[in-house]
Amino acid sequence: MTQTEQLRRLFDDHGGRLTLGDIMQTYLAASYRQRMTDLKRELNGEGKTIVCYPCRVDGSKSLTRWQIEDLPKPLVYSEPSGQLAMVLK
């Protein structure tokens, strides 16, 4: 199992949310930024992304939480001129 796969499993084990403290308790700590980038690329192909939120979690000094979320869906509509326009929500 690659480190990126292990990071994905860690997200799954924590309900799709991770804090820096969760990551630092594993051996992925030394390369977590690169693994996060790799996983974000994989998830992008599935229509998902990793979003970073500031937070305070009891028992943790981490002020950052990452969460896997769906990418915004483009909204397509037609202009009065007949041209199609795309808006991201």
pLDDT digits (tens, 9 = 90+) for 1-53: 889 999 999 999 999 998 888 888 888 888 888 999 999 999 999 999 999 88
Instruction: Quote the pTM value.
Output: 0.65
CA distance 62 to 55: 8
Q: Which amino acid is at 50?
A: I
Spell out the alpha helix ranges (H) of 1-89. 3-13, 20-24, 32-45
Per domain, the residue ranges of the chain are 3-88
CB 58 within 8 A of CB 74: no
For position 76, what pLDDT does the model report?
Answer: 63
For position 79, what pLDDT does the model report?
Answer: 64
For position 61, what pLDDT does the model report?
Answer: 64
For position 29, what pLDDT does the model report?
Answer: 80
